[in-house]
Amino acid sequence: MKSPELLQQLIRFNTVNPPGNEGPALEFLRGPLEAAGWECKFLSKVPERPNLVARLKGAEPGPNLALISHVDTVPADPEEWSRDPWSGDLHDGYIWGRGALDMKDQVAAEVAACVNLAESGWRPARGDLILVVAADEETGAHFGAKWLCEECPEEVRCDWVLNEGAGELLDFDGRKLFTLSVGEKGTFRFTVVAEGEAGHGSIPRVGDNALL
């Protein structure tokens, strides 16, 4: 299976969220995964908005690795596009369409890799490889990853996860580079104390502002 052709086909499923309508696209992905030997499940809060959870079992128990992505997209106004946003056209070396970057490209790459690995006979030595292709990432994950973690935690429990992020193509000094994200933003709490003489907002120069 080749990911460029798979990406073109995925783009042709209109999964603009709302309303999402992810079901047909996920059913399309489920077929080749099951044929290659993956155990696939549709888990959904409502039938028309499923999440695909596929698992390739390891030879022995061990830590699980999950690949997580989503197939819903933000809206697209065809009047603002030079090509049909749901065409999946290949033109001048680029695949056109809504979701080509966010993030049906990663979906296609991961699904193609997972199918090809399983068809080759490869299996994890320890732990399971889990593929999660979710619904509803663009509007809060109430039908997608958030719901899965709250209502089906055992189906998606993992020790490591590769998520959406980075991977942008940059032109740098005549070279094409892809960025790589190895962490996620967190929280840093601190207290700032500033001493000065208060002044009214209408005449700020009267006060002694310790910050400016």
Q: Are 14 and 125 in contact (CB under 8 A)?
A: no
110 in active site? no
Q: Are 164 and 70 in contact (CB under 8 A)?
A: yes
HSE-up of residue 200 (Cα within 13 Å, Cβ side)? 2
Length reported for the chain: 212
Tell me if residue 151 is catalytic.
no
Ordered alpha helix ranges (H), the chain = 3-11, 23-36, 104-119, 145-151, 153-156
The alpha carbon dihedral of 69, 142, 57, 34 has a sign of negative
Catalytic residue among 22, 72, 105, 138: 72
Is 135 strand, coil or helix? coil
**Of these residues, 105, 128, 137, 138, which one is catalytic?**
137
Structure tokens at 22: 């992810």
Sheet architecture: strand order including 39-44: 39-44, 50-56, 129-134, 65-70, 160-162
- List active site positions: 72, 137
